[in-house]
Amino acid sequence: MKSASDLDQADRRLLIALQRDASVPQSELAEAAGVSPSQVSRRLARLKESGVLRAVVGLVDPVRAGLTCAAIIRVRLRDHSAANVKAFRDVVQRMPEATFCVMLTGEADYLVKIVARDLPHFQEIVQSKLLRCAAIAHMESSIVLEHLKDTTALPLD
């Protein structure tokens, strides 16, 4: 797998350009990266193969797509047995409404971001999916009031 130290400046410029707008033509990506268009194809293939470039996707505005409620949920498991960890992870993996989940140090074990159509839909998700997970000892939800920064772009320069 390619590591950060294996990326040259052209790779970094190419990745920065892709993060800005992956729909631009390869000629524009080539110009941004300072390489030829044929080099862009080879570099993209290499970056995908190595796992540095996981996917090229379109970013959907949740509110304009009808998902007007977002919440952050802090989750504490009953215990950290392999069975509980697996049960919780399985629930989250099966939830399309869970768009982000990380394991944490500190008081909470996991942080989960949920997107929903509205508050009643959020309540339905919590009650029908998360509260039914026996691995969870405690959950604390916070409704997102405003997105100050919401980016997928990594600081590659």
pLDDT in tens, 79-101: 999 999 999 999 999 999 999 99
pTM of the predicted structure, to 2 decimals: 0.86
Domain co-membership, 79 together with 136: yes
Q: Is 151 within the bounds of a domain? A: no
The arithmetic mean of pLDDT across residues 117-131, rounded, is 98
Domain co-membership, 73 together with 46: no
Return d(Cα 146, Cα 84) in angstroms, integer.
Answer: 33
DSSP 55: -
Of the candidate ranges 1-15, 46-60, 86-100, 142-156, the one whose mean pLDDT is the lowest: 1-15
Q: Which of 105, 106, 112 is nearest to 136 (CA)?
A: 112
Q: Where residue 32 sits, what CATH number does that domain have?
A: 1.10.10.10
In the sheet where 110-116 sits, what is the strand order?
Answer: 98-103, 110-116, 69-77, 136-143
Domain co-membership, 33 together with 76: no
Q: Which two tokens stand for residue 136?
A: 């969870």
Q: Is 135 within the bounds of a domain? A: yes
Residue with tokens 């320069």: 157
Number of domains in the chain: 2
Domain co-membership, 87 together with 115: yes
Q: Which two tokens stand for residue 131?
A: 């509260």
Q: Is 153 within the bounds of a domain? A: no
Return d(Cα 132, Cα 91) in angstroms, integer.
Answer: 9
Return d(Cα 13, Cα 68) in angstroms, integer.
Answer: 34
Q: Identify the domain containing residue 110 by its residue range.
A: 69-143
Q: Is 13 within the bounds of a domain? A: yes
Share of the chain above pLDDT 70, in %: 97
Q: Is 92 within the bounds of a domain? A: yes
Return d(Cα 105, Cα 108) in angstroms, integer.
Answer: 7
Whether the predicted pLDDT of 5 surpasses 80? no
- pLDDT score, position 3: 56
**3-class SS at 51?**
coil
